[in-house]
Copies of this chain bind each other. A is one copy, B any other.
Amino acid sequence: MVTLADVARVAKVSTMTVSKVLRGTGAISEKTKTRVFEAVDELGYVPNRLAGSLSTRKSMLVAVLIPSIADTIYAEIISSLHSLLDQASLSIFIAESQMDPEVEERQVQELLSLRPAFIVRSGGIASTRRTKLLLKRFEVPHIQIWDGDDPQGQVNVGPSHIEAGRIAAGHFLELGLSKVAYIGAETQLDICASRRMESFVAGMTSAGAEVSVITEPDVPRQAESGELLTRQLLENGQKVEGIFYLNDAMAIGGLRVLLNAGCRVPEDVRVLGFNGTSREQTINTRLTTISTDGRRLGRAVAESILDSAGGKIEAINTLCPLTLDLGNTT
């Protein structure tokens, strides 16, 4: 493995000089500069950032902890975040908490063991006491995303799920619906989803409407679960005029079941999703959904990081806008 010392030897200077040349610090004559660069080129030297970070006591690493990378909305956020941080030579490493507080605790430890300069973490999960303690003790600038309602972190970027629920209820009420349903998944763990649900229920009931809440503890937030729970709803014989789903994937599963059962959408039942991740995937039936712009969220996070001069980061709460995308299911 080629090291600074090797480059120094070839360029016939000290390691310190090479270090300065490569980082552009200090005053170095043009002559030695070119000599160093030639040596670097000849040897194919790539600096060891592990060693560098150890020495400077600051890393170029940004830790990202989210429930699941496979979830489109998070993939969008990370992609957007990466493309901006890349310009500042900040590397991203990721971990999945799978919405499990225990898993999250372990992941936080793993992440902290790499001494990241920033930690971007999805809120909306009931973190363990130890997790919170660790995050506090390490004093790593902590950016919480996705949970706009709970500005715990030093920086918080995300949509308000309470507002999302309100938008959903407002929309259904405007359409004059009085008997609706919410279909979700593991409520106790996903605080954001339950906030949407509660705010939706509150909005509807306070206007005199009736809401049945259908959630199954351990179903994944996928189309299949949407199918399952919607089928359950239909079998119960309950007639509802509108269904608000936990996310788009479940709404699409639900739509499939409703259409197959001969329900006309939106004439008989209105369907509303959440996240806006179905935009490009649906064909002739365009799902109505409450959407957040993942790329924009990622950009806001990146900007906070890039603006933070020297590690200290200013605490702000950036509420990401929510949009009601009218498709043809309501």
Interface residues in chain A, defined as those with a beta carbon under 8 Å from any beta carbon in chain B? 1, 44, 46-51, 53-54, 57, 59, 61, 68-70, 72, 75-76, 78-80, 82-83, 86, 89, 91-96, 98, 107, 109-115, 133-134, 137-138, 222-224, 249, 252-253, 255-256, 259, 278-285, 287
Whether B281 and A256, one on each chain, are in contact in the complex, defined by CB atoms closer than 8 angstroms, is: no
- The CA of A223 and the CA of B280, in the complex, are separated in Å by 6
Is B69 a contact partner of A59 (Cβ separation < 8 A)? no
In whole Å, how far is A248's beta carbon from the nearest beta carbon of chain B?
A: 8
Question: Is the beta-carbon distance between A76 and B70 smaller than 8 angstroms?
Answer: yes
Chain B contacts of A253 at CB under 8 A?
A: 280
4 other contacts beyond A70-B79, A86-B107, A283-B285, with CB at 8 A cut-off?
Answer: A1-B138, A61-B93, A82-B95, A252-B283
Q: How far is the CA of A129 from the CA of B273 in the complex (A)?
A: 48
Which B-chain residue is minimally distant from A134 (CB atoms)? B44
* Cα-based distance from A54 to B82 in the complex (angstroms): 26
> Is the CB–CB distance between B94 and A92 below 8 Å?
yes
- Residues from chain B with Cβ under 8 Å of A224 in the complex: 280
Task: From the candidates B83, B89, B112, B113, name the one contacting A110 in the complex (CB within 8 A).
Answer: B89
A79 CB contacts on chain B under 8 angstroms:
68-70, 96
User: Which of the residues B50, B89, B94, B133 comes within 8 Å of A59, measured between beta carbons?
Assistant: B50
Query: Could you pull out 20 A-B pairs where Cβ atoms are within 8 angstroms?
Result: A1-B57, A1-B138, A46-B113, A48-B115, A49-B114, A49-B115, A50-B50, A50-B114, A70-B76, A70-B78, A70-B80, A83-B96, A89-B110, A91-B93, A223-B281, A249-B281, A253-B280, A281-B281, A282-B283, A283-B283
Interfacial chain B residues near A281, Cβ < 8 Å: 223, 249, 252, 278, 281-282
B-side contacts of A110, CB under 8 Å? 86, 89, 91
Please indicate the chain B residues that have their CB under 8 angstroms from the CB of A112 in the complex. 46
In the bound complex, CA of A86 to CA of B65 (Å): 13
Cβ–Cβ contact A54 & B46, under 8 A:
no
In the complex, A187 Cα to B68 Cα: how many Å?
A: 31
Q: Which residues of B contact A54 (CB under 8 A)?
A: 48, 50-51, 54
Say how far A258's CB is from chain B's closest CB, in angstroms.
10
- By a CB distance below 8 angstroms, the chain B residues around A68 are 79
Cross-chain contact B280 with A252 (CB below 8 angstroms): yes
B82–A96 CB distance below 8 A = yes
The interface centre, meaning the residue of A69, A83, A92, A222 with most chain B CB atoms within 10 A of its CB, is A69
Query: Nearest Cβ distance between residue A320 and chain B, in whole angstroms?
Result: 17
Residues of B within 8 A of A287 (CB): 283
